């Protein structure tokens, strides 16, 4: 019975029946594709911070005679996986012959991120990081219908890291007020993927006219805002879905956050500490 089943699947399948220590162990095993299961039971026990009996109990729970038996199965499993040309998400395809949506999705997404990075100019990335770390700059973030979430995510982090960060409202009617403040020190970070929104372009145009610098995040085809942008990141967005994927854009955002944080760490340490305290004090929904 267990001869056919893969240890990995068994682990996932019986996850709910596992105890706390067993789940800890299971996490360690799954964490590196069962590879840690090839060590001696003692080492594995130390690595997973459980005792060796726990390991044996888990092995038995999965249907093996003991640890050695399971280890043999793991070795076979890894061997089988290695002989496959490309180790991609093993398509078990329970419902669909062309593979589960998750399998197809991960394939597309990894391609998107890869190609986005291929086109990424690291020097440009560094320049943008420097720009966003400059405390004398004022940052404004703006997104479209869908990309507003990305703008919000970026804003969320930047606002904690440094002062002078503004997320523009989703309603264009209140933009003019912010526009007033955009001078040569201002940086407008715009997200605009298809379908490109005319309002965004209009605002970008006006901002540039006032001297602001624009950092644009767009898709492979390029928003019309490219013409006004000082810096431009193009990300791949196509996936097997009715919707575009902004994962590559999110990747760029997170990498920028990391870099801006490390460049601003000295100044932002106090800022974050102060924030933590304010959060603690202003907790409304008391949890006592």
Segment lying near a copy of itself (by CB under 8 A), choices 54-62, 73-81, 181-189, 210-218 = 73-81
Does position 180 bind a copy of itself by CB under 8 A? Answer: no
Could you tell me the smallest distance in angstroms from the CB atom of residue 53 to a copy of itself? 21
| CA atoms of 188 and 121, how far apart (whole Å) | 20
Does position 27 bind a copy of itself by CB under 8 A? Answer: yes
Query: Residue 218: phi, psi to the nearest 5?
Result: -140, -175
Q: Which of 127, 230, 259, 271 binds a copy of itself (CB under 8 A)?
A: 259
| CA atoms of 64 and 177, how far apart (whole Å) | 69
Q: Given the complex with DNA, which of 58 and 260 has the nearer CB atom? A: 58
Does position 157 bind a copy of itself by CB under 8 A? Answer: yes
Does position 243 bind a copy of itself by CB under 8 A? Answer: yes
Segment lying near a copy of itself (by CB under 8 A), choices 58-66, 92-100, 134-142, 210-218 = 92-100
Three-class secondary structure assignment of 151-180: HHHHHHHHHHHCCCEEECCCCHHHHHHHHC
Contacts of 61 (CB under 8 A, 6+ apart): 14, 17, 18, 22
Segment lying near a copy of itself (by CB under 8 A), choices 52-60, 132-140, 178-186, 280-288 = 280-288
Does position 178 bind a copy of itself by CB under 8 A? Answer: no
Element (H, E) at 60: helix 52-61
Q: Given the complex with a copy of itself, which of 158 and 185 has the nearer CB atom? A: 158
């Amino acid at each position: 019975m267990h001869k056919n089943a893969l240890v990995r699947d068994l682990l996932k399948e019986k996850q709910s029946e596992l105890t706390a220590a067993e789940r800890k162990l299971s996490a360690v095993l799954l964490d590196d594709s069962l590879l840690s299961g090839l060590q001696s039971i003692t080492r594995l026990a130390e690595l997973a911070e459980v005792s060796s009996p726990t390991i044996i109990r888990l092995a038995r729970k999965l249907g093996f005679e003991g640890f050695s038996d399971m280890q043999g199965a793991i070795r076979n499993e890894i061997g089988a996986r290695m002989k496959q040309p490309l180790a991609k998400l093993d398509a078990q395809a329970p419902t669909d012959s062309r593979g589960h949506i998750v399998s197809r999705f991960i394939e597309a997404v990894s391609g998107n991120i890869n190609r986005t990075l291929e086109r990424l100019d690291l020097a440009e990335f560094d320049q943008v990081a420097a720009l966003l770390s400059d405390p004398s700059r004022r940052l404004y973030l703006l997104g479209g219908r869908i990309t507003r979430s990305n703008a919000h995510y970026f804003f969320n982090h930047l606002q904690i890291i440094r002062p002078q960060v503004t997320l523009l409202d989703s309603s264009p009617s209140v933009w003019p007020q912010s526009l007033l403040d955009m001078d040569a020190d201002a940086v407008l970070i715009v997200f605009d993927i298809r379908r490109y929104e005319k309002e965004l372009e209009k605002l970008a145009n006006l901002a540039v006219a006032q001297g602001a610098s624009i950092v644009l995040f767009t898709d492979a085809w390029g928003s019309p805002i490219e013409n006004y942008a000082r810096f431009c990141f193009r990300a791949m967005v196509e996936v097997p879905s009715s919707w575009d994927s902004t994962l590559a854009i999110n990747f760029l955002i997170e990498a920028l956050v990391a870099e801006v944080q490390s460049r601003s760490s000295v100044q932002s340490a106090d800022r974050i500490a102060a924030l933590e305290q304010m959060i603690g004090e202003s907790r409304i929904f008391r949890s006592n």
